[in-house]
Amino acid sequence: MSMSLNKVQLIGNLTRDPEMRQIPGGQVVTTFGMATNLVWTDQSGERQSKAEFHNIVAWRKLGEICGQYLKKGGKVYIEGRLQTRDWEGEDGVKRYRTEIVADNMIMLDKKGDNPGGGMDTSMEREAGGIEDSSSDDSFSEDAKEPASKKTAGKNTKNSEEEDVKIDDLPF
């Protein structure tokens, strides 16, 4: 039996406001852009940095929460898996898009910092897909632990459904 793993963890800022829509089956899907920054020192001792841009897709309840509470510029932790879709453009050329399908999201802005305003913590717990770590500047293992446990059971039953439905997306 071969082992396989597809897991992505990102901490970065939204590059655009989330776009929430309903696909024909009635499911909510939210997409947004996110940037992460790689910083290193080159051979001459100069500090360099390069931004990487990611396309994030969140489904169902997590999609609703992302669409409602995240705003451009906001800092988030995203956990999910890589997925590449392909389609044929009007010019007949095959195109590819790699995106991260989110399983979990944690807002990392302090209550006062979040461009979208603070989120009520009771709503977060009720939703089950995210944890409130907005009171903490740095992202710690403690903040991640409960969120991972909480979503672990839910993710498995949805993955097949997501794979099928992703082709119905109008973008």
The pLDDT-based confidence of 134 (bands split at 50, 70, 90) is: very low
Residues 6+ apart with CB under 8 A from 110: 134, 135, 137
Q: Tell me which of 2.40.50.140, 3.30.360.10, 3.30.70.100, 3.40.190.10 is the CATH number of domain 8-152.
A: 2.40.50.140
For residue range 44-61, list pLDDT tens digits in order: 999 999 999 999 999 999
CB count in 10 Å sphere of residue 143: 18
Is residue 88 over pLDDT 60? yes
Separation of alpha carbons 146 and 140, rounded Å = 11
| Residues 114, 120 contacting (CB under 8 angstroms) | no
Length of the chain: 171
Mean pLDDT of 81-109: 93
pTM of the full predicted structure? 0.62
Residue with the larger pLDDT of the pair 169 and 148: 169
Predicted pLDDT of residue 110: 77
Q: Among 38-47, 59-68, 106-115, 155-164, where is mean pLDDT lowest? A: 155-164
Residues 6+ apart with CB under 8 A from 52: 35, 36, 37, 38
- What residues does each domain of the chain span? 8-152
